[in-house]
Amino acid sequence: VTSRTIFSGIQPTGRLTLGNYLGALGRFVDLQHTARCVFCVVDLHALTVVHDPKELRRLTREIATLYLAAGLDPAVCVLTRQSDLPAHTELMYLLESTAYVGELSRMIQFKEKGRGRPRTRVSLYTYPVLMAADILLYGSTEVPVGDDQRQHVELARDLAIRFNRTYGPTFVVPELSPATVGARVMDLQNPTTKMSGSAPADSLGSIRLLDPPEVIVRKISRAVTDASPDVGYDPENRPGVSNLLEILAGCTGEADPAALAGKYDGYAALKRDTADAVVGVLKPLQNRYAELVADPAHVDATLRLGAERARELAAPTLAAARTAIGL
Ligand code: ADP
């Protein structure tokens, strides 16, 4: 019997959005008391696309601060930074020697962000292997991520199974742990694309975790809906209004967004309640963030302590993998 171990990470590539919160960060907070948890700021993943070194360091600390502000407790879970742990890249190489070019070429994210473009970084191509190393290193049984990461977790499973079969039992085979609500929060202006941190800073479509309440209210009041006068849940045909219902459900703990639709006979009330719910979830986080950001040394010390604990957790798996593969 394997005890539950949860790993997940967020990359410092942009300002975190409500999508990151509902699909990932908010769930980490609930999960931390249920299992051994490692939550990582995956800064090496941010090197896969054009980046600014100073901004990378700033965003890394911002995300670590947001982890704490959201309520992750370093006494309960391990909070760490990927680049503090060489074990991640070392295991990545062993897994690269297990993975096939063909299967990495099929990764949807690589196809969307890189394939065929001139200055595509090699690291963007191998990114899912590093992610597999992140997951497998801690013996993770579950990986709570948004829908867009589904295929990458599937690859981590495939690599673990292949390695175990070829070299003997070494890795725990992880399960995807999808969010039931909020697994794919969509852009408020283009509700057929996901809400993303890399949207332009002035985008009305993306709610940032640190947006002031009046900005959140404005963005939601301008959210695109459709011509039908009634409120209904139908993500395929009515993505805008369905996204608002999904956000409202995610922020109020309602399990079924469709059930909320019947409560509303117009968009104005739906938008008002959705904005209230989002502000209600984000306000306490923003208040704690304001306190924590005044003490960056505390955040840095938390990451240092996390790295020590993560190193201890990771060492046996890395050693086993090295031995199994013949090193
Ligand atoms: P991003 O996808 O924002 O560039 P990451 O890949 O680091 O950033 O995502 C961190 C976590 O947030 C992942 O678990 C991802 O699946 C989740 N996530 C990102 N965007 C959304 C979204 N729009 N809705 C739900 N979850 C999301």
Structure pTM? 0.95
Q: What letter would DSSP give residue 307? A: H
d(CA 81, CA 46): 12
At residue 249, does pLDDT exceed 60?
Answer: yes
Say what percent of the chain tops pLDDT 70: 99
At residue 1, does pLDDT exceed 80?
Answer: no
Q: What is the ipTM of this complex?
A: 0.96
* Residue 225 near residue 241, CB atoms below 8 Å: yes
- Nearest Cα neighbor of 303 from 15, 28, 66, 25 is 66
Protein residue closest via CA to atom 12 of ligand 1: 20
Each residue of 177-219: pLDDT tens digit?
Answer: 888 888 999 999 999 999 998 888 889 999 999 999 999 999 9
d(CA 294, CA 30): 26
At residue 44, does pLDDT exceed 60?
Answer: yes
Mutation test of ligand 1: which of 107, 148, 242, 247 has the most ligand atoms closer than 8 Å to its C-beta? 148
Structural domains of the chain ordered from first start: 5-182+296-325 (3.40.50.620), 213-291 (1.10.240.10)
* Residue 292 near residue 65, CB atoms below 8 Å: yes
Please state the rounded mean pLDDT for residues 155-179.
96
Query: Is residue 128 lining ligand 1, measured as CB closer than 6 Å?
Result: no
Query: Is residue 68 lining ligand 1, measured as CB closer than 6 Å?
Result: no
Protein residue closest via CA to atom 14 of ligand 1: 145
How far away, in angstroms, is 206 Cα from ligand 1 center? Answer: 12
Q: What letter would DSSP give residue 231? A: -
Bridge partners for 9 per DSSP: 40
Query: Is residue 194 lining ligand 1, measured as CB closer than 6 Å?
Result: yes
d(CA 49, CA 52): 10
Query: Is residue 208 lining ligand 1, measured as CB closer than 6 Å?
Result: no
